[in-house]
């Protein structure tokens, strides 16, 4: 089993935006989707702390999950660009969020999710949709932005006080931009 909470706190992003980052390099010739098989999604949900690997995750649910993910991404882009989000995306997010039957419990080690419904994977995705309602609806403190990394266009929540954050992650896009800047300086 994978360890939870391995992302550093300063990089911690809302669940719904972590979900959109399962596609990277979106505006390049070679975007990468890491959710290609039902087992990829099961692993992501477990990794995100949404219970263990859920049973009964099939191709159909993977397809629906990817649709939800892209709706969240487009809606977040709209918020970042101060545009109105498309009704179809808003409806899809709301429909998923309305099916949320999950809840959290305290256990010896902290907090854990419980999914009492017939499909834990569906319930876990409903939690992600509910998180999108909170995040994109402005209930979270921060500003939704689009990463300035070349071709990345990941959406992230800038929670810094000065709102100066430009990259989705300092360990990837931020680091690359720093190296590029150094190369430019070195060439002069
Ligand atoms: Zn980025």
- 175 lies in some domain: no
Distance 24 CA to ligand 1 centre (A): 8
- 1 lies in some domain: no
What is the per-residue pLDDT across 137-164, written as a single tens digit (0 to 9) for each?
999 989 999 999 999 999 999 999 999 9
What is the per-residue pLDDT across 71-126, written as a single tens digit (0 to 9) for each?
999 999 999 999 999 999 999 999 999 999 999 999 888 889 999 999 999 999 99
Q: How far is Cα 54 from Cα 42, in angstroms, rounded to an integer?
A: 6
- 73 lies in some domain: yes
Distance 6 CA to ligand 1 centre (A): 19
Instruction: Determine the straight-line distance between the first and last CA of the chain, rounded to whole angstroms.
Output: 49
Distance 124 CA to ligand 1 centre (A): 26
- Give the pLDDT of residue 188: 63
Total number of domains in the chain: 1
Of 23-32, 49-58, 94-103, the poorest mean pLDDT is in 49-58
Q: Which domain holds residue 135?
A: 11-141
Q: What residues have their beta carbon closer than 5 A to ion ligand 1? A: 147, 149, 152, 154, 168, 173
Q: How far is Cα 117 from Cα 124, in angstroms, rounded to an integer?
A: 10
- 155 lies in some domain: no
């Amino acid at each position: 089993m994978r360890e939870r909470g391995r992302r550093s706190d300063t990089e911690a992003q809302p669940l719904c935006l972590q979900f959109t980052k399962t596609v990277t390099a979106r505006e390049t010739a070679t975007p990468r989707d890491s959710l290609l098989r039902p087992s990829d999604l099961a692993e992501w949900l477990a990794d995100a702390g949404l219970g263990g690997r859920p049973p009964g995750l099939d191709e159909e649910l993977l397809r629906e999950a990817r649709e939800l993910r892209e709706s969240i991404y487009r809606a977040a882009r709209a918020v970042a660009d101060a545009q109105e989000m498309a009704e179809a995306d808003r409806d899809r997010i709301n429909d998923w969020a309305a099916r949320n039957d999950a809840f959290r419990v305290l256990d010896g080690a902290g907090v854990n999710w419980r999914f009492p419904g017939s499909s834990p994977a569906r319930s876990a995705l409903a939690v992600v949709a509910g998180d999108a309602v909170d995040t994109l609806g402005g209930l979270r403190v921060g500003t939704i932005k689009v990463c300035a990394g070349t071709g990345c266009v990941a959406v992230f929540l800038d929670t810094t006080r000065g709102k100066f954050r430009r990259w989705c992650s300092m360990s990837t896009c931020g680091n690359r931009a720093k190296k590029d800047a150094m190369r430019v300086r070195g060439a002069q």
